[in-house]
Structure 1
C-alpha cells in the first residue's frame, strides 16, 4: 500500500514538474534576420531571385548569396522553391522584436540589402499608368511583391508593421500583407510576370487562394490590406512552423511605379496560458500534498 502511494506521489510530482516546465521554459536566444544579396537597379524588376529558370537565364540559381545563414549558398530554413525570396526571420523566443530593413542588413552584416516594394504591388489602385481604370479592377502584381519567411521556435503571437523609409521613394501610406503556412517547394518554371490577389480577373484569383504565383506547398492563413506602422497584422505562429509573408503597397499606386524602401517591424508576444492549465497544475499540487499527509498519518505508531 505504501509503495503504491509512493509511486502515485512520484508520478503526480513528475507530471506537475513537466507541466510547469512546458509552460514556463523560455529560450534566451535572440531573434535574427537573413537577407538575399541579389539586387537590381531596375525599379520594375524583381529583386531577391533564387531561380534561373526558363525565360530568365541571366538570374543565377542561387543569387550572389545570403547573409545571416550558415553560408552564402545556404538558403533560410532549407528553402528550395523557385519563387523569389527577399528575406527571412527566425524568432527564438516570445517578447523579442526585430526589423527587416536595409539598415538592419547594414548593421548586422555590412551589406545594403534591397528591401523595397511598389505602391501597388500587393494591390494596385485599379488604374493603369495613365490613370485609366483597368479591365480587372484592383489587383496585386508579382513583380514587386516582396516575399519573406518567418519561423518561430516556440508558439507565439507575431505582429507585422511595415512603414516606408522616409526619403527613399514614393510615400506608401498603406500596405497589404498575406500570410501563408509553409514555403514554396515548387521545382518547375517560375515567372514573376502577372497578377495575383485579383478577384476581378478571369478566372478569379481570390485573396484566400492557396499557392499564388504558381507555387507549391503554401496554404492561405490570413491577410490584411490596411496595414501600416500603427495597425499591424497579427497571427499565431506555431513552434517550428515556417510561414511565407507576401508584402507590398495596397491601393496607392502601380506595381511598376511608386517604388520605395520599406522597414518591417516584427514584434512578438507569448501565448497566455489558459486558466485550465493553471487549475490542472493546482489540482496536481493538492493531490501531491494530500498524498504526503496520508503517508505521514500512516507513519504514526499505534
Structure 2
C-alpha cells in the first residue's frame, strides 16, 4: 500500500497524508496542511483509497504492509508500486535522515515512515538497500520500530530533528507524535544485516527509516528497496507456574503411593 503524494524536489518531504491551500495562492501543498487540514491524499492498495489501517495521525506516512502468512516475503519499493498498482510511488530517503553525519541527529524531512500489521504472530526482518542508479550509495540505514502508530491529530511540522539527545530513537514519540511506544532499533541495517522483531497478530507497528551517518538529510537522496521477510513464531508457549506446582504435587503423590505399596 502506497501514498500517492508526490514532491517537486527529491529533497522535499514526501508522504503527506493531507494537502491544503492555507495561504490562498490556489495551490494545495502538504506542508500547508500541517497534516490535519484540507483533503486526504488517496492511497493505492487500500479499500476505497483510504489511509491504511484506519490511520488518523498527522505526521507524514509513506507506505504500509499487511503481512498475511509467516514464511512470505514482501517488498516495498517504487518498482513494486509500479508493478502492482501502475503508480510510481516516491520511496526514497536521505543519506542522513535517520542519523546525520554532521549531527549526530536525524531529520524529519527525509525519514520515511511505514506501517506493518501481521495477521498472525510472526518474526519480521527488515532489510533495506539502495536501488542502483537512483542516487547516492547509502552504505547503511537506520531503522527504529515502534509499537502503535501516530494518533496525534494536531498540527504537524516536517521541520525539525529527532534521534538526538533530546529526542532519542529509544524514546516514545520522538516526532512529537502520540501513540508510539519504542520497541527496537538498529543503526547498521542493510541488504545483508536485517533488523528483526516479533510482530503480534493484529498489532500495528511503525517503521522509521533513513540513511545512518553517511551524509546530510537534504543531499544524496536515493530510492530504496525494503525487503520484509517473515518467519513462524517458534517460541515455546510458557507453562504457568501453577501447572508446574500441580505437576510436582502429583509426582510426590505417585512416589508416596509406590513407597507404601512396596512396604506393605
TM-score range, shorter chain: 0.7 to 0.9
| Structure-2 separation of matches of 1:105 and 1:242 | 21
Match of 1:87 in 2: 63
Closer/same/farther in 2, CA of residues 94 and 138 from structure 1, 3 Å limit: same
Match of 2:136 in 1: 170
Is residue 133 of structure 2 the alignment partner of residue 159 of structure 1?
no
Q: For residues 1-302 of structure 1, what are the structure 2 equivalents within 5 Å?
A: 34-52=1-19, 56-57=31-32, 60-63=38-41, 65-72=42-49, 74-126=50-102, 137-199=103-165, 204-274=166-236
CA contact (8 A) 1:51 1:83 kept: no
CA contact (8 A) 1:191 1:213 kept: no
| Structure-1 separation of matches of 2:4 and 2:170 | 31
| Structure-2 separation of matches of 1:186 and 1:52 | 17
SS in 2 for 1:258: coil
Closer/same/farther in 2, CA of residues 275 and 117 from structure 1, 3 Å limit: closer
SS in 2 for 1:71: helix
Root-mean-square deviation (Å): 1.8
| Structure-1 separation of matches of 2:204 and 2:192 | 25
CA contact (8 A) 2:2 2:63 kept: yes
Closer/same/farther in 2, CA of residues 148 and 275 from structure 1, 3 Å limit: closer
Match of 1:295 in 2: none
TM-score by length of 2: 0.83
| Structure-2 separation of matches of 1:108 and 1:43 | 23
Q: What per-residue deviation string (whole Å, max 9, x for no partner) do you get for residues 209-249 of structure 1?
A: 10121101100001000000000000000110000000000
Q: Deviation at 1:274?
A: 1.6
| Structure-1 separation of matches of 2:67 and 2:88 | 22
| Structure-2 separation of matches of 1:276 and 1:235 | 19
Closer/same/farther in 2, CA of residues 272 and 215 from structure 1, 3 Å limit: same
CA contact (8 A) 1:179 1:222 kept: yes
Q: What per-residue deviation string (whole Å, max 9, x for no partner) do you get for residues 66-119 of structure 1?
A: 0000012x1110001000000000001100001000111011100000000000
Closer/same/farther in 2, CA of residues 69 and 139 from structure 1, 3 Å limit: same
Higher gyration radius (CA): 1
SS in 1 for 2:82: helix
| Structure-2 separation of matches of 1:211 and 1:276 | 31
| Structure-2 separation of matches of 1:91 and 1:242 | 11
User: Which structure 1 segments of 5+ residues have no match?
Assistant: 1-33, 127-136, 281-302
